[in-house]
Amino acid sequence: MAVASKYLPGAKKAHEAQHEEHDLRQYLMFDPKPRGEMNQMVMESMMTTSWKFWVVFAILSVLTATCFFYAWGYMIAEGLGVSGVMRPSYWGIFLVNTVFWIGISHAGTFISAILRVFKAEFRRPFTRAAELMTTFGLIQAGASIFMHLGRVWLAYWLFPIPNARQLWPNFHSPLMWDLLAITTYVLGSTMYLFLPLIPDLAMARDRSTGWRKTFFKILALGFRGTEGEWTHLHTAMNIFAFAIIPVMFSVHTIVSWDFAMAMRPGWSSTVFGPYFVVGALHSGMGAVAIVLAIMRATMKHMDYFIRAEHFDALGKLMLIVSMAWAYFFFNDYIVQWYGGDKWTDTLLHWHESGPMSWMFFQMLIFNIAVPWLILWNKKWREIPWLLASVGLLINVGMWYERYIIIPVSLTINRMPFTWKLYYPQIEIFLTIGTFAMFLLFYLIASRLIPLIPVWEVQEGQMAHSVRKVGKAVVPSVSEIDLTME
């Protein structure tokens, strides 16, 4: 005979409270470990390398050496003629890559600065992983610009110094704005990466021997964690968090003005600034999802620091940014379509029915349909490989978007006798080279610096607790975070 079991009223509440407390343990902030143990976990993840690591390292090194350095050297020796850029598409994949990598770089600032300002606690374990993407992404963006220059040894002509005839560069040109904005962003984001890294470098210094000890000792600068050092560090991080946000917005807006300032069909658009910024965040968020999934799958102990809650939060951000991107895309499209300009109409038809229309429609599918169909579901958002796959497709879609804006749109101009489709040549190898170098840098960094900001995680865990309100267990966050005082 089946007997229906029932909790006594009090016992049921207590049971539920225990469950609630147990549920909270799935969140990093409510599942603290002793600091020494967390340090050990991060150090082990940094020091442990398997043969698979070295195989990937070797493949990426070979790709970087051949597709980046050899191919670029060959292009420098032979001239830009070995690339596919020619009339009317003088701006080819090099600038597609420049815009793409600058876009990737936006994720670091967004996660580290904007989420820090708004105290989004889920950011804590992966701020550094995102900030590293900013620095390494900007290196690839810079390299792509220099590739585009062709005669790269004359790059100093852009520097703010007078030439032999005492003529200074023209600071009214969008290309000079680019140089200054990207320089500011590279330096700013690298400093912003380094400042919160200092306490973790000191932690690594205390736990390493040999050459690593010397390496960490030099980089830790003698940090001990005195009250003064923390105060100076926090004040600086606070200033950086607020100041780097407008710089981030300015960089991609200025990049968009490289196009929008030209009176070309498809380019001259007042909405290009925010459209580019949102596009940058779109690809950047997707790239962070890929990096986190790889970190979690391949590095020791990362499943403690990077959890389903982080993929869930990131997935929500990706969905919101995807909606914003769709809004700006349609905003740009409808105004140009409604304008009725003959050449713009021709260009829009070229996008939709020309030889590159497959790219146009895949862009829409990857950037809008895929995230909207998958990321609405919490359970799906929490699956690392699925979120990383969505991130990968978004990045392919965003690369296509830049390709459509630059070489595909340059095909159509007001002189039909010049219309000619762009076929990349050596650019394909150089593109592979920039991706290989980005991954190689990341791989090396994962073994040289702590990818998890342990002190920030501990600070967050100190601020979080569970408390009982009546019979219920509720999460509670204290305002002990010095960073935003």
Partner 1 sequence: MSEHITILALYSDINPAADGIDKLHELGISDDEITVISGVPITEAMLGRPHQSTNVSRLALGGAVVGFLFGAFLNFGTPNLYTVYVGGQSVFPFPPGMIILFEMTMLFALLSTFLGVFLDSYFPNYSPLEYVPEISDGKIGVFFKCLQSDEKKFMEALSKLGAESVSTTEARQL
Q: Is 482 in the site for partner 1 (CB under 8 A)?
A: yes
Q: Compute the least distance from the CB of residue 343 to partner 1, in Å.
A: 25
Q: Compute the least distance from the CB of residue 39 to partner 1, in Å.
A: 6
Which of the stretches 116-124, 160-168, 285-293, 364-372 binds partner 1 when contact is defined by CB under 8 A?
160-168
Q: Is 202 in the site for partner 1 (CB under 8 A)?
A: yes
How many angstroms separate the CA atoms of 42 and 24, rounded?
23
Which of the stretches 9-17, 63-71, 205-213, 386-394 binds partner 1 when contact is defined by CB under 8 A?
205-213
Structure tokens at 320: 């919101």
DSSP letter, residue 156: G
Q: Is 215 in the site for partner 1 (CB under 8 A)?
A: no
Q: Compute the least distance from the CB of residue 210 to partner 1, in Å.
A: 15
CB within 8 Å of 398: residues ≥ 6 apart: 100, 103, 279, 282, 283, 286, 363, 367
User: Of residues 41, 247, 306, 321, which one binds partner 1 by CB under 8 A?
Assistant: 247
Half-sphere exposure in the Cβ direction for 471 (13 Å, CA): 10
Which of the stretches 112-120, 166-174, 309-317, 464-472 binds partner 1 when contact is defined by CB under 8 A?
166-174
End-to-end CA distance of the chain: 64
Q: Are 28 and 394 in contact (CB under 8 A)?
A: no
CA distance readout (Å), 91 to 150, 158, 216, 258, 342: 12, 18, 43, 11, 23
User: Of residues 207, 212, 264, 316, which one binds partner 1 by CB under 8 A?
Assistant: 207
User: Of residues 57, 146, 223, 327, which one binds partner 1 by CB under 8 A?
Assistant: 223
Give the sign of the dihedral formed by CA 181, CA 105, CA 107, CA 432: positive
The footprint of partner 1 on residues 390-409 (CB under 8 A) is none
Q: Is 183 in the site for partner 1 (CB under 8 A)?
A: yes
Q: Are 110 and 293 in contact (CB under 8 A)?
A: no
The footprint of partner 1 on residues 254-273 (CB under 8 A) is 254
**Bridge partner residues of 107 (DSSP):** none
CB atoms within 10 A of CB 457: 22
Give the 3-state secondary structure of 23-36: HHCCCHHHCCCCHH
How many angstroms separate the CA atoms of 140 and 253, rounded?
19
Is the CB of 172 or the CB of 467 nearer to partner 1? Answer: 172
Is the CB of 389 or the CB of 465 nearer to partner 1? Answer: 465
Is the CB of 58 or the CB of 239 nearer to partner 1? Answer: 239
Size of the site for partner 1 (CB under 8 A): 66
Structure tokens at 368: 């809008």
**Binding-site ranges for partner 1 (CB under 8 A):** 34-36, 39, 160, 162, 165-169, 171-172, 176-177, 180-181, 183-184, 187-188, 191-192, 194-195, 199, 202-203, 205-207, 217-218, 220-236, 239-240, 243-244, 246-247, 250, 254, 455, 458-459, 462, 480, 482-483, 485
